[in-house]
Amino acid sequence: MSGTGGSLWLVPTPGSACADELQSKIKDLSSNPEWGRGVSKPFTPHMTITSAITDYFLSSAEKVEFPGYSYIHLDEVKLAKPELRIKEIVFGDLFYKRIFIRLERTPSLLEVVSTLRSQFVGESQDALDEFMESFDPHISLAYASGFSEDEQLLEQVRASIETWAKSLALSEFQFIVLMDTRNKPKCADQDRVSDWKACPIRLAL
């Protein structure tokens, strides 16, 4: 998750094995924060399609809490469910990409992202092309300010996640949710992820 404004998320079917597996891992990393510094509270599993959502979509009706969010199936916007394949587990350098699953840039996933980005973010074709060229599809597992200096512990955490991910199926990512993430946590204020709200989606497709 990055950028400004709202964010459009691709999320797994609520209550599916995929959603439950990811949520459990996110909660586990948040509840056992010895691996990092400034570890945030748990958040809903998602793949960010795009941030920088225009105010038109964010100013609609009142916002709601998870799990009562307003989501729509990809069928409703005439898009096929994308193929999500795990490429690698990454321990990164950014707050929002501290521990995450990097996904392969499959054609079906790029089609979904490109179509929705063009509809929810007003920009030129050149700007869209630039965005797509640098798009790094991923599913975050933990937000944090940094890592512990205990390298042995970090290797244990990494090995555990990599083993867990081998049996993780990502076939249930077929809903989109519009989140008002303008109230973003900073490194010293991680708990503001709890303030994120979902917005009803105005179908403009």
The answer as to whether 204 is a domain residue is: no
CB 136 within 8 A of CB 57: no
**Domain of 56, in residue numbers:** 6-199
pLDDT tens digits for range 69-91: 567 889 988 999 999 999 999 99
Q: What confidence score (pLDDT) does residue 61 get? A: 45
**Close Cβ partners of 11 (under 8 Å, ≥ 6 residues apart):** 19, 44, 45, 46, 47, 71, 173, 175, 176, 177
The answer as to whether 1 is a domain residue is: no
Instruction: Give the whole-angstrom CA distance, residue 66 versus residue 42.
Output: 12
Over 80: is that where the pLDDT of 117 sits?
Answer: yes
Q: What confidence score (pLDDT) does residue 187 get? A: 44
* CATH number of the domain bearing residue 160: 3.90.1140.10
What does the pLDDT average to over 133-147?
A: 96
What is the value of pTM for the model shown? 0.86
In one letter, which amino acid is 181? Answer: T
* Number of domains within the chain: 1
